[in-house]
Structure 1
Amino acid sequence: MLCLEEARLPRRLSILALSLVLALSACITVESREKGRVVRVRQEDVPASAYKGERHALLIGISDYADASWHHLLYASKDAEDLGRVLADPARGGFKSVTVLNRPEQTTRQAILGALRALESRPWNPQDVVVVYVSAHGTLARDWSGELQRYLVTQDTSFRDVPGTGLEMAELERALERLGSRRRVLVLATCHSGTGKSLLPPSVRDELARTKAAFLPRPLEEASRASIILSASDWGEAAREDDALANDIYTHFLIEALDGRGDRNRDGAVSATEAHDWARRNTWAYTSGRQRPSAQIMEVGADPVLLAGALERPGQPEVFSYSARLEGFTLKVDGEVAGELPGGVVVPEGKRRLELRKGGRVLWEDTVALEAGERRELESLVSRAASGPRRTVMLEAGALGFLDARSREQVLPASVLAGAGLRFDGALLDRRLDVWVDVAAGQGRRTLLLDPGGSVPVRHRTLLLGVAVGPSWWWGPLGFSTGPRVAGLWLQRSFQLELLNRDERYLTVWPGWMAGLSWRFSPSFVVDAKAQLLWAYVPVDGQTRMVGFGGLMLGGGYRF
C-alpha cells in the first residue's frame, strides 16, 4: 500500500531573495529687453457661496528712475495699465477695484508702502481675492545683517544704497500676508540675473561671479508665506520685454489667459494658476526656452483664486505640481503623455493610470479615481507613495493539489483552501519588486484508490504558508506579476478503518514559482488570481521521488 512517511525537513533549500501672476518680468536687451511659486487649492465639494468674495488689485509699473544707474524700461508702466484694463473689465476680470500706480510720484518707496498700508486697512472678507502686481527692476543686495536679499527697485532707489532705499521683496510678501483675505496673489515682474531690468552692486556681482553654480543661490525669503507668488522667470534667469508684443512677454500671455484661453478645465473661470500655466508655457515657447516662469504655492484652503470669469459648471479633473522636486518630469495618463511639470494637467474623469517619468525612469505610478471639479496635488501623491510601499490585504480561496493524477488518487486528493494574504508594492530593489505573504488552510474527506485495499476513505488537512517576490507590470487597471516563491507545507491524512486507524503527517519547505493577474477597479480595491507551482522530493513507500504541487487562488483585497 502506498503511504506517506514521516519526513525530515530538507537540509538545504535554495531560496531566492531579491532586493522610488504672477511674474518677475522686466529685464532689457537691444531687441528683447530682460527683467530681473503658487499654492494650489482644492475645488472639491465647494459651495457656490464660496466664490462670492470681491476682487481687488494693486498694480505697480515703474519705468523711470531718479538714479540714472537704473536704465529706463519701455513697457513696465504699460504692463500695469494693460493688466488693469483686463482685470477691471466686467466681462473678464470683473474686479471691484483696480489701482494702478505708474507715475513717478506714485512709485517711490514711501508711496508704495503707503499704498500697501491703505490696502491693509480695508475691511477684508476671507473670500475676497487680492492681487498685487509689480513690473520693475529687481536687484540683489546684502541687508543690514549681511544676508543676500532680493529688492524691488523703486523710483527713488539709490544704486549705491539699495538696502536703505529699495523695497525688500520679503516686505511685499509680509504686507500681503497681513491682509484678511485668504486668496492672495503676489505678481513680481522683476528678475535678479544682473542683466536688463536687473542691475547688481559691484560687490554682489563680483561675489556671484565666483559662485560655482548654474544659477544664483536662492535667498531664504523665497519660502514666502503669501498665498501665491508667480514669477515671469526662474531664479537667476532674465525676464524679457518684447517690442513685437509691446509688453513684458510673460505679462502679455498672462493677459491673454484672462481672455478665457487660460480656462484649462472649462469651468467658466480662470484661476491664478491656470493663467500662470498658460503664460508659462507660451513664454517658454516664445523665448525658445530662455525664460522659464515659475510659481510658488502654499495650501491655504479649498478654494482656488479666480482672476477672471465665474464658475458655471464643475470643471474637468486636474492634477498639478509646482514642486521644484518634480520639475522637468513628464506626466503620462493611461500611457499617453499629458504634459510636463511644473503646472497643471486636465485628466479625463474616472479611474486613470498616472505615471511620472524623467529620463526613462519611472518615479511614481498609480491608478487614481478622479471626479469632475476635483484637483489633486501630485507632490502629495508621490510623497505618500515614497513614505513606504503600498499594502494590500487580501481574502483568498482556491484549491491546491498534486499535479499528477496518480498522486491525487493514491496519496492525497486536491484540497480546497481559504486564507489571507498581504502584498507590499515596491518593497525591494528601489521599489521595483513586490512582496507577497500568504497563509491558507483546508480540510476534507475523500476516497483514495489504494492497491491493495481498493477504495479507502481518508480525512485530510492542509496548511500552506508562502512568500513570493517579483516585479509587476501595469496596463491601466490590469496588472501582471510573477516571481519565485517559497512555501512551507504541512499535510495530514487520517485513515479510519477496522484494520487501519492511523495518522500520517508531512512537513516540508518547497521552492516554486508564482504568477498572477490583478484588476484594480478603484484606487483602494483590487481582485487577484494567482497560480503557483511548487516541487519537492517526497518519500512514498520508502522511496523518494520528485512531485509537483500546483494551486490556484482567487481573492479580493483593500489597498492602503
Structure 2
Amino acid sequence: MNRLAAAAALALALLAPAAARGAPARYAVLVGSNAGTAGRPRLWFAEKDAEHFREALVELGDFPADQVVFLRGPRAGELRAALRATEARLAEARRTGQHTLLVFYYSGHAGAGGLELGDERVSFDELRALVGGASADAKVAIVDACEAGLLTQVKGATAAPALDFPLPSGESVRGTAFVASTAVGEAAQESAAIGGSFFTHHLEVALRGAGDADGDGLVTLAEAFRYTAAQTLAGTLTTAGGAQHATYEMKMSGRGDVVLSDLRRADARLTLPRDPGAGYVVRGPMSILAEVAGGERPVTLALPAGSYRVERRAPEGRAGADLVLERGATLRLPPLSPTRYELARAKGGPKPGLLFAGAGVKTLALSGFGLAPSFEVGARKELGPFGLRVRLDYLGKSADDAGLRYDAWYVGAAVAGLYPLNTGRVLVEAGPELGFGYAWQRLAVSRKSFDSGVLSLGAAGLITAPLGPLRVGLDLGLGAQALRVNERLTARPAASVALLALWGF
C-alpha cells in the first residue's frame, strides 16, 4: 500500500459529505500567511490558497460557513485562540450526540521551528497537541509548507501507479491524521502560472471534478487523491525545487469508500468532452484556473457561476472559447478545433499579434503620378479565425503630367480583414481592404494647391516568414482609389507593395 496515497486519502475522507444518517458537525480552522520570519521572502499565494480551500469546503464539502474560521496573516496567539474557541463548539456538539470533525489547514512558511507567522512560531509539537487534543471524533491537520514533513516525520515517499486501499467512512471514522504537502527536506512550491501552490491548487481542482475519473458526477477519495498526487508530483518534477511528495501520520479507525464531493452542490457545472491526448485550461472568476487532461470520458467541473475562458491544448495546436455559466446550469463544452492561425502557430507561424514597419512603393490616383516611395507602420491582430490589419501610410513625390509639374503627398490609413491561406511557418494571408486618407497637390509654377479625400477599396495580401527573433514580410495591395480632381470625382486602379519587419506580441 502506498503510504502517501493512504494518508492523504484518509485526510480527504474527513471532508466527504456524510452518509445517509445525516451530516456530522464539521468545523474548520484555516490559516494563510504570506509572511515568514526575518529574512524569508514573502510568499505569493499562501493566503489565497487558504481562501480557495475555504471556498471549496463550504461549496462542496458540506461545511457551514459559520463553522469555518479563516485567518489571514494572523499572530500565533490568534491561531491558538481560534482553535480554543472551535474546541468549545466541538465539545458542545458532542454533548448533543453529533459526530464531530475538526479540520485544520495551514499554508505559509515553515521550518525546523514549526509554522512561521511573521516573527512568531507555532512548533509542530504544539500543533500536534492542539489538534490531537481536540474533543472532535475525527481530527485532521493539513499543512502546505516547506519542511511540513517534520509534522509527520516521514523523510520521503514514492508514487504508486494506482490506489487500492480501505477508506474510512465519514460517519464512523475516528482518530487523528496529520497530512503534509512535503517530506522532510522538501520545499512546498508555488507556481505563478497556476496562481497558487501545486498541492493545494490540485486538491481544489480534484474536488471540483477533475478527479471524477469514472464520470459519475461524484468524486471519491481514491479518485481525488490519485489526481492530486499525480498532478503535484508531475508539476514539480522539472522545477528548480525538484519533485514534491506529500507525507502523513495517522491513527484512525473506520473502513469503506466515501464520496468526497458531489458536483450537484456547485453553483454551475461545465462538462468537457471526451478528448484523449488533449489538455484543457479553464480560467474564470476569483482566479479559478484548472488544468485538466482530456480522457476517454467527459469530465465535469463544479464551478461558481460566472464568465470563463477555456483553452484546449493539443499537439495539432490550440483553440479557445469564452462562455458564461449560469447559476444552476450545466453547460457542455462543444469540441474545440484550432483555427488556421492556431495551426500555423503550432508549426512555427507568427504570434497572435504583430507590430510592423516598412517601406515600399504605392500609387496615387493622379494623372502622371505613377509609383512613389511609401512608408507604413501598423499592427496585425488575430480575432478568432480571422486577422485584422491596421496600417498607416505616407508617400510623396514630384510628378509630371504632360509637362505640368507638381508635387503630391498622401497620408492615410487602411484596414484589412485577412484569412490565412495556409498553416506553415511562412504564412500567407489575404482578404478585403478599405482605406481612407488625404492627398495634397501643389503646382510647381503657380504654387496653387489642391487637396481631396481619397477612398480606396481592394484586396490585401500579407506574406510573412521567420527571421531570427523577428519576422519579415511582403504587404501587397490591389484595388481602386477615388478622389476629386478639378472638382470632378476620379477613380483609378491602385497598387502597393512594401517590405516589412514585424515584431510579435
Report the TM-score when normalising by structure 2: 0.42
Could you say which structure has the larger radius of gyration?
A: 1
Report the TM-score when normalising by structure 1: 0.39
